[in-house]
Amino acid sequence: MVWNPTENYYTDLYYMTGGLNGDVLFGGKHYIYILGHTYYKDSGTDAKKQMPAYDYGKTAYNRLHNADVYNKDDSIQYVFTNVTWVSIPLMNNQFVQFVGNNSTTTDPYGFIATDVRIKLRMANPYKKDINTYAKANPQNDNYPMYSFSTKGFEPTTNDLLTAQDALDLINIVPNPYYGYSEYEKSQVENLVKITNLPQKCTISIFTINGTLIRRFKKDNALTYQDWDIKNEYGIRVASGLYIIHIDAPGIGEKILKWFGSMRPTDLSNF
């Protein structure tokens, strides 16, 4: 059986006759059964029967496929007692139309063969869970255990292309500066930050006519550089537009435009 649900609920005749004739389709009725990892007591023998953890459906398939006239009812009960949810999937009609209009293949289900990231959230309480099979010295004292891998998600280091892409993240905040920033601790302080910087770089600040007013040579692990909005002589710069050039040796360059509107110095309250 091919898993190929459609977006159709009913046949056209069903709609035309108000349900008097026609067929119920429900996308082809591709039933999905979610089985729990549980055990129960058989009402007749009082024996404990367990549905194992996920095994690709092998246990359920084998019990139903190999059932005969003598144990058919028992096998059906064994499987369906553990059914937690049942659903019938249907294709999203809008998505079907989108794929049909944009697909480069004649296979209407070609989109299924794509990379998918699945997030698992565990809702079971953290407590001991003892099943039907006792075991000496159980692992983790029968408390839940999970394993996962971060392979493929590790950070990239010493990669030139990654470092060059990171230049686009360099910024100056706030921009524009309207007389105040949240970095300032007093009424006589002016402060902005150049952020997302590499470990080693040279920061040059120019007026729009090309006059150099301040230069910083950074070589530390901090990812930012403070600027008190003063020139090399400790004098606060005038309001206006400024050009900031960042040169990261061996990586590349970044140019920022920054506008600042200075406030009058407040010396009235101390």
Q: Each residue of 148-160: pLDDT tens digit?
A: 888 888 877 788 8
> Considering the domain 162-261 in this protein, what is its CATH number?
2.60.40.1930
| 34, 81, 90, 157 from 60: Cα distances, Å | 11, 11, 24, 47
pLDDT for the residue 204: 95
pLDDT for the residue 32: 87
- Bridge partners of 173, per DSSP, are 193
Confidence of residue 131 (pLDDT cuts 50, 70, 90): low
Q: Each residue of 193-213: pLDDT tens digit?
A: 999 999 999 999 999 999 999
Mean of the pLDDT values across residues 224-239? 91
Mean of the pLDDT values across residues 235-249? 93
Residue 102 scores a pLDDT above 80: no
Q: Each residue of 8-44: pLDDT tens digit?
A: 888 989 889 988 998 988 888 888 888 887 766 665 5
Residue 105 scores a pLDDT above 60: no
- Which of 191, 157, 214 is closest to 263 using CA atoms? 191
pLDDT for the residue 63: 86
- Angle, CA 245 vertex, CA 160 and CA 232 arms, to 5°: 130
Q: How far apart are CA 51 and CA 63, in angstroms?
A: 11
Domain ranges of the chain: 12-112, 162-261
pLDDT for the residue 123: 65
Q: Each residue of 72-95: pLDDT tens digit?
A: 888 888 888 888 888 888 877 776
Residue 103 scores a pLDDT above 60: no
pLDDT for the residue 170: 94
Query: What is the percent of the chain where pLDDT is above 70?
Result: 78
Q: Where is average pLDDT lowest: 34-48, 163-177, 247-261?
A: 34-48
